[in-house]
Amino acid sequence: MLEIKNIHKSFGDNIVLNGIDLKIEKGDVVVVLGPSGSGKTTLLRCINFLEKADQGQAIFGDTQVDLKKASKKQIYSIRKRTAFVFQNYNLFNNKTALENVTEGLIIGRKMTKEEANKIGKDALDKVGLFEKYDAYPGELSGGQQQRVGIARAVSLNPDIILFDEPTSALDPELVGEVLEVMKTIAKEGTTMLVVTHEMSFAKDVANRVIFMDGGVIVEEGPPNEFFQHPKEERTQRFLKRVLPEDYIYNI
Amino acid sequence: MSNGLDFEFLIDTFFVALTGVPVAILITVVSLAIALPLGFILALTRINKMLVLNQFSRVYVSFVRGTPVIVQIFIIYNSVPLLLASIFEKYNIQMDVYDVNPIWYALIVFSLNTTATLIEVFRSAINTVSKGQLEAAHSVGLTTVQAFRRIIVPQTLVVALPNICNATVNLIKATSLGYAMSLPEITLKAQVAANASYNYIEAYLDIFIIYLIICSLVEYLFKRLEKRLRKYQIAPTA
Ligand SMILES: Nc1ncnc2c1ncn2[C@@H]1O[C@H](COP(=O)(O)OP(=O)(O)OP(=O)(O)O)[C@@H](O)[C@H]1O
Ligand SMILES: [Mg+2]
């Protein structure tokens, strides 16, 4: 359904993505792991054109787009098929929770306000914020803000939702509620590409795990295999660092 | 005159000075109408480091801020007529440059001046609205123009409002320097009235009170506006 071919991206001399290929089927939940600076965020940003790749193709169903030379029109059409959940939520601070969700529907998708409000309320209900339609971001906790961010993405009914470390800006006690919401929408069949450091989410929810390092995909596989029998030495070293307790048993 | 204040003169001159208020307000309003959009756009060129325009704005701001307004007035008031005269001569336009209403010079000086102030005001205000919100707007399908109109500008205005208020009050007060180019505003009117009878103290008291009233009123209106616009709290940026 979504295929990414040979993405390259450098910032000056710093080669961040060095030929990434990725194929995601409908309903897949793909988790991307990797050390800090390995280019995970950049990968997601290139897919959504928040960053312009130096080279690469994206194939969405029957449309193929050159990530470097895409026209404005192509960019809008890809953005219609994707949604982004940001590490820092990036909610519109001058809009209520409901308006945050409906903004893209009304302005971007040209829906009527009634239609948009209905979809928006459903989305907020789904993430457990049925009492917070009219709250401004400044009045919400981090976990609630991120759930609005997820509702905003879900309401667009995209082919795929891109998550960039959705819980890493949260206080530890708020991480659970956000992961729970992500789990729910994953169960409903939402296609997701998730960068996260939450290994439990990768193990329990993902059907594929990808390990990136040095701008390339080092290893990928189903979570069971990936966590219990990592093949590459770089993967083993990474897992040993992030999962010291588990890893000891598996050796 | 030595027997304290001349109250009759004080009151008469108050009304004379009041007739200068429309000019002061006209200059303030027109200067703001020019400086607000221009300042915003030039602030954007500075933030996005646009070639040439960014450099231009930077130099422009440092020139305007680094010199007293009164000196700027002298320069514009004395050099523009010379420039105009040579242009008129070249193109054979029959018009006396000294007939030009000083309001035009005042508008030039104060628009240029306020623009410089507002470039810096908007620059810091735009920076407080995170770039992430622009990206989020893009990601939900808004164009850059839509994102600015609906998300960035409204927040920037609220953040900038106290400083815009300051700039406005400073501008109103600065119009009093217009007397240096014979601009018939509050200060000049009162001073002319006092010239006849030497009741300068009364005249200055009148001016003092008028500026105080106008500026307090403006501050009050800005406070009201800020309350109206700021329905939301600024979320702590994570
Ligand atoms: N806009 C930019 N300009 C210059 N360099 C950048 C930019 N964005 C990212 N980089 C660099 O690209 C590299 C990869 O960054 P990226 O944010 O994609 O990593 P990441 O895997 O998401 O890391 P983290 O786990 O810390 O979020 C880093 O070295 C970073 O400094
Ligand atoms: Mg990152």
Asked whether the beta carbons of A235 and A34 are under 8 A apart, the reply is no
- Which residues have C-beta within 8 Å of that of residue A157, sequence separation ≥ 6? none
Q: Can you give the length of chain A in residues?
A: 251
Q: Which of A84, A109, A138 sits opposite B139 (nearest CB)?
A: A84
Q: Which of B135, B154, B237 sits opposite A50 (nearest CB)?
A: B135
Q: Which of B146, B158, B238 sits opposite A107 (nearest CB)?
A: B146
Per-residue pLDDT at B2 exceeds 70? no
d(CA A149, CA A164): 12
Residue B49 CA, ligand 2 centroid: distance in Å: 25
Share of chain B above pLDDT 70, in %: 96
**Amino acid B162: pLDDT:** 94
Per-residue pLDDT at B8 exceeds 60? yes
Strand partners, A18: A8
B158 to chain A: which residues are within 8 Å by CB?
A: 94
Query: What CATH code would you report for B21-182?
Result: 1.10.3720.10
Tell me the two tokens of residue A93.
């601070």
What value of ipTM does the predicted structure carry? 0.92
The domain ranges of chain B are: 1-16+185-229, 21-182
What's phi and psi for B81, nearest 5 deg?
A: -60, -40
Interval A129-157 mean pLDDT: 95
Pick the most confident of A65-79, A89-103, B186-200.
A89-103
Work out the minimum CA distance from B237 to partner chain A, whole angstroms: 8
**What residue ranges of chain A are covered by domains with CATH 3.40.50.300?**
1-81+162-167+175-250
**Which stretches does DSSP call E strand in chain A?**
2-11, 14-24, 29-33, 55-60, 63-66, 82-85, 160-164, 192-195, 208-213, 216-221
pLDDT digits (tens, 9 = 90+) for A180-236: 999 999 999 999 999 999 999 999 999 999 999 999 999 999 999 999 999 999 999
CA distances from A13 to A34, A37, A56, B205 (A): 21, 14, 19, 67
**Amino acid B230: pLDDT:** 81
B142 to chain A: which residues are within 8 Å by CB?
A: 103-104, 107-108
**Amino acid A87: pLDDT:** 95
Ligand 1 mutation target, pool A42, A47, A242, most atoms within 8 A of CB: A42
- Which residues have C-beta within 8 Å of that of residue A199, sequence separation ≥ 6? A227, A242, A243
Closest ligand 1 atom to Cα of A87:
27
A229 secondary structure, DSSP code:
S
Work out the minimum CA distance from B155 to partner chain A, whole angstroms: 6
Outline where A82-229 has alpha helix (H): 97-103, 113-126, 142-155, 172-187, 199-204, 223-228
Residue A41 CA, ligand 1 centroid: distance in Å: 7
CA A234 to chain centre: 24
CA distances from B181 to A42, B105, B167 (A): 59, 8, 22
CA distances from B165 to A100, B61, B119 (A): 30, 19, 14
CATH 3.40.50.300, domain A1-81+162-167+175-250, yes or no = yes
Interval A146-170 mean pLDDT: 96
Work out the minimum CA distance from A61 to partner chain B, whole angstroms: 19
pLDDT digits (tens, 9 = 90+) for B139-167: 999 999 999 999 999 999 999 999 999 99
The owner of tokens 């194939």 is A59
Asked whether the beta carbons of A32 and A42 are under 8 A apart, the reply is no
Please classify residue B194 by burial: count the beta carbons closer than 10 Å to its beta carbon, then call 0-12 exposed, 13-18 middle and 19+ buried.
buried
Half-sphere exposure of residue A108: CA atoms within 13 angstroms, side-chain side: 32
What's phi and psi for B101, nearest 5 deg?
A: -65, 130
Strand partners, A133: none
pLDDT digits (tens, 9 = 90+) for A2-55: 999 999 999 999 999 999 999 999 999 999 999 999 999 999 999 999 999 999
**Amino acid B238: pLDDT:** 41
Residue A37 CA, ligand 1 centroid: distance in Å: 5
B199 secondary structure, DSSP code:
-
**Amino acid B94: pLDDT:** 81
pTM reported for the whole predicted model: 0.85
Q: At what angle do helices B21-47 and B153-174 cross, to 10 degrees?
A: 140
A55-60 and A2-11: which strand pairing? antiparallel
